[in-house]
Structures are given as structure tokens and as C-alpha cells.
Amino acid sequence: MATIGLDNLYYAKITEDTTTGAESYGSPVKLAKAISADLSVELAEATLYADDGASEVVKEFKSGTISLGIDELGSSVAADLLGVTVDTNGVVVSTAEDGAPLVAIGFRAKKSNNKYKYFWLYRVKFGIPGDTQATKGDSIAFNTPKIDGTVMRRNKADGAGNHPWKVEVTDGVTGVSATTITNWFNSVYEPSYNDTGVSLSALTIGSISLSPTFAAGTTSYTASTTNATNTVTATAADNTASVAITVNGNSLTNGGSATWATGANTVLVTVTKGSASKTYTITVTKS
């Protein structure tokens, strides 16, 4: 069914594990009012010829581009998406040394039946946008910014061991829970699979609270502490599965004490059973 509208354009900043490159996502932030979103995909393609004909064809995602038309690019958003600096007077400073950070991009498109189709792109890096201005003439013409980004697959594997680049869902479709739709822009969606063998039944970091509250199907969390250390304990739903924990890229024994650096710390808890694995990411901020 055709889409007839676009709104709720969000971004979430990415923090990468220094060893594995696995992404953890910050809380989604409203980017701007959406005008357009054009997504195109480039495929890596190979054809095997046998017996004078095409025997096998492989087509895999290589990269994509997203072009966003928006009403205005605010200074704080420009800093997060383009890597520019906002000085003490609120002036946006663009330099030759600017490097665009990685972000996730979420939005929704309205369908002709008044339902919505929801999206998250997991790993996007934006380029420097152009800027077009024109003097006022006899008629009014709006000049609005457009930012173009490269879409990549993420480094962090999902619960099935794959590396997704996009997720999408349509509300009202059989099997789609109301909670999934309601929470879509509260955090970057993490694919959920039914294999409880690669899930946790419990996850604690000392006595500090996780946000959101722990649930087996939720794999991204944040927490804050003033403590120098906390114990990290994870319990697999299946006692035959293994659990591995790293803190800022360093291995930690399950139930061991993690030492926090000031600022953001990345805790990765990976549950593995056979060839299947699932990684839980907790960003612990020490003040």
C-alpha cells in the first residue's frame, strides 16, 4: 500500500566498542520536521555460470544512501550529525577537521489506510550539506535544507548472528504488538527472536538501575553511577549456554567487579549456544 506522509524523524547517537566496534545507541532525539526521505540501496552481486548458463546468483546488501529533506537543521543537531562545533556565542563553526559521527535514523511514513510504517536505519554517516539561498521575488519560495548520508550495516550481530542495516514494521499487521509500535522511538529497536537458548533471564550491575528495566528481549540499556566499581552478573535462560562479559573491551568474569572510567563505559554481555549468539549492551556512565 502506498505511503502518503512522513513524520517523526529521529536520530540516536552511536558509541562503538573500542575492540569489537559493536554499536550501543543513545536515546533517540527529534531531528527536525520531515519533508522527504529518499532511500536507495547498492547491492554486491555475483553470478556463477555453469553448463553455458547462469547457475547461481548472489545479491547482498553493500551500502545505501539516505537523503533527508527537513524544515531546518538546528545547531545542536548539526553538531551531532555533521560534527560541527557550536561556539560560546551559539555560532555554528564548520572546519576542515570536522568528522561526522555515526548515528541511527528513525522515522515513520503514513499509509493511505491511516496506518503507519516505522523504520530504523542502524548505522548512518552524513556528509556536508549544500546551502541554497535566494532573494525574495514576486512569489514566495521556500528553501529548505537536505542532508545526505551513507547507510551501512551495523557491526553488532543480532540474536540470529546477522548484521542488520534496517528494520521496518507496519502497525495493525497481524503479529505486531502494540508495545513495539508504542516504544518505537523510545529506543533504537533491537530484533527479537524466539530462541530462549541465547537470551538472558537476569542481568544486574550491582544495585544500580538499568534503563529500561531488564527484559530478555531488550538488548540495549543505559545506567548511571557514582561508584568506582560494581559487580556485573548475567544469567542465561538456558543453563547450557555460555555467557561472556567485556567492559570497555576487557574480559570480565561473570559476577566479577567492573572498574568504571569517568564518562561512558560499554559493557557487552554475549550469550552463545552453538552457532547462535545474542549480545546485550549496557552503557554505564560514571559521574
Same domain assignment for residues 112 and 222: no
pTM of structure: 0.63
Backbone φ/ψ region at 236: left (φ over 0), alpha (ψ -120 to 50), beta: beta
Same domain assignment for residues 274 and 148: no
In a domain, 189, yes or no: no
- Total domains in the fold of the chain: 2
Please identify which residue in the block is written with the cell numbers 536507495.
40
Higher pLDDT pick, 164 / 52:
164
Please identify which residue in the block is written with the cell numbers 522515522.
107
Which of the four pLDDT bands, split at 50, 70 and 90, describes residue 141? very low
Same domain assignment for residues 132 and 26: yes
Mean pLDDT of all residues in the chain?
85
Question: Which DSSP category does 212 fall into?
Answer: S
**Alpha-carbon gap, residue 46 to 59, rounded angstroms:** 7
pLDDT, average across residues 50-57: 61
Same domain assignment for residues 175 and 200: no
Which residues share a beta bridge with 12?
Answer: 104
Q: Is the pLDDT of residue 152 over 60?
A: yes
In a domain, 191, yes or no: no
**Alpha-carbon gap, residue 171 to 195, rounded angstroms:** 24
Q: Is the pLDDT of residue 87 over 80?
A: yes
CB 254 within 8 A of CB 226: no
Domain that holds residue 94: 3-182
User: 105-131 pLDDT, tens per residue?
Assistant: 999 998 888 889 999 999 999 987 766
